[in-house]
Amino acid sequence: MNFFKKLKEKITQQADSVTEKFKQGLAKTRSSFAERVNDLIARYRKVDEEFFEELEEILIAADVGVTTVMELIDELKMEVKRRNIQDTKEMQEVISEKLVEIYRGDDNEPTVLNMQENGLTVILFVGVNGVGKTTTIGKLAHKLKSEGKSVLLAAGDTFRAGAIEQLEVWGERVGVEVIKQSAGSDPAAVMYDAIQAAKARNVDVLLCDTAGRLQNKVNLMKELEKVKRVIEREIPGAPHEVLLVLDATTGQNAMSQAKTFKEATNVTGIVLTKLDGTAKGGIVLAIRNELNIPVKFVGLGEKVDDLQEFDPEQYVYGLFADLLEIEKEKTEE
């Protein structure tokens, strides 16, 4: 199993703790998606049209997205012809390979944050209320701080009751200061204060929270544009990242949110929270393929270190971990 062999080799080069987080975080998706794929392969002896129809249903149920599923099925059919695959057992590897390819697209580089080597990196967080935006900011602050970077937080969500306090709780928890004004203040004014503070203290990274009201898209756009203008005026080229936070458990609703925010602002990456809480982890592929926005981080649990950089190979390993471990045992016997 050539692809699985390469996949295992790549995984073993990374920290076991990362592999374990992806494995545990994707347990719900694996128990529905991978088990159904395995069952399908066990029931069919040959790769025919009925096999593909059932596979299509499984992929749609995992929230891979109809457009992405159609593309994937077409590519799988071509691959079956090209390799002259008769036995369904060979399909497990081909499906995994294509999932990684769909995610990677034309870009073979890992999706890392655009960090400035010299000077301040400004990261703007956008997303509707309740998706875990503030928690994500806190977890990323912890991650960056543990990597030796100095971090400052900007409490730009001045409208939601308790948003400033929630960010302050995270600030205290991870030992990072929060720049804030009173509730109801102009978010752009908060950003201005935060940038001045970050410059004065020679901070490496400024993480900026924003309001997440989607009731009036026009107002949201204007607000985000104003915030971005202030940041850009004070630091040319900033924000260096605009990360859209989405809740994986909302499935296709997350897709429509992504489309709205993509129109409102130049989203450079996605943070997909609560991936451990859904059986529909295929949403990762739908977002990447249909919106052409890289998923940069995924939330794989409640702990402070459960925010992980997204890795397509680790993701596919997480989906098929049980099968890969059976294969490993076979080779060791």
Residue list, annotated binding site for GTP: 127-134, 209-213, 273-276
Phi-psi region of 63 (alpha: psi -120 to 50; beta: other; left: phi over 0): left
Return the closest-CA partner of residue 93 out of 210, 192, 5.
5
Distance CA 314, CA 220 (A): 35
Distance CA 46, CA 89 (A): 9
3-state secondary structure (DSSP) of residue 273: strand
Q: What is the DSSP string of 119-146?
A: S-EEEEEE--TTSSHHHHHHHHHHHHHH
Question: What are the CA-CA distances from residue 150 to residues 92, 122, 153, 306 (Å)?
Answer: 45, 12, 11, 20
How far is the first Cα of the chain from the last one, in angstroms, to the nearest whole number? 16
202 within 8 A of 226, measured Cβ to Cβ: no
Query: What count of Cα atoms within 13 Å lies in the side-chain half-sphere of residue 98?
Result: 21
Return the closest-CA partner of residue 246 out of 238, 256, 254.
254
163 within 8 A of 134, measured Cβ to Cβ: yes
97 within 8 A of 312, measured Cβ to Cβ: no
Across the beta sheet with 307-309, what order do the strands follow? 177-179, 151-154, 205-208, 121-126, 241-247, 269-273, 295-299, 307-309
3-state secondary structure (DSSP) of residue 205: strand
